[in-house]
Amino acid sequence: MGQPVSQGSVRAGTVEIVPLRRKHLRAVMAIEEQVYTHPWTHSLFLSELALPASRVYVVARIDRVVVGYAGLMFAPDEAHVTTIAVDPEWQRRHVGTRLMAALTREAIERNYTAMTLEVRVSARGAQALYRRFGFVPEGARKGYYVGPAEDAVVMWARDIDTPDHARLVEALDRQAADGAHE
């Protein structure tokens, strides 16, 4: 897989995005418990993985170590980002960008034209990532999050199936792979 990577840098080609499998769940759960105050359970992840026609989950690996994961649910008219998380030691190192690029490609491959997600009002870094992918705020969900209680911003990216959007996703993914600053 290439040279070992220090935590201070992510070299081109070292972040590998692969389908989330049961064997990854221990690492996913460790990240989930660090990142979220109300983490998903192991059984919830298993139930999500049991729905491959309507769900896609991926992990980001560096030297075969899981450093992040993300999921997408397919509804009739939209692809809904269900979760995205990066190990705190690897945040702000382009892993989230690589995960979002993979989810967007998957939605496009399944002929979706729009993606949506909810994000905490206070999660400014996450919102900035989503904006780079063309997501814009279109609503709010009052009291959506618990522990701590907080509203959610509902964001949408529309027309993801256009050549312009494909070029945007490819450019973001290429910059992240090359280690450019987010």
- The encoded tokens of residue 53 equal 């026609």
What's the one-letter identity of residue 73? M
Q: Which residues are catalytically annotated?
A: 118, 130
Q: What contacts 74, CB < 8 A, 6 or more positions away? A: 53, 54, 55, 56, 80, 107, 110, 112
Query: Which among 36, 35, 38, 52 is positioned nearest to 88, based on CA atoms?
Result: 35
Q: Report in angstroms the alpha-carbon separations of 180 from 110, 123, 141, 168.
A: 29, 22, 34, 15
- The encoded tokens of residue 127 equal 């919102």
Q: What contacts 148, CB < 8 A, 6 or more positions away? A: 37
Q: Are 15 and 100 in contact (CB under 8 A)?
A: no
The packing angle between helices 25-35 and 42-49, to 10°, is 120
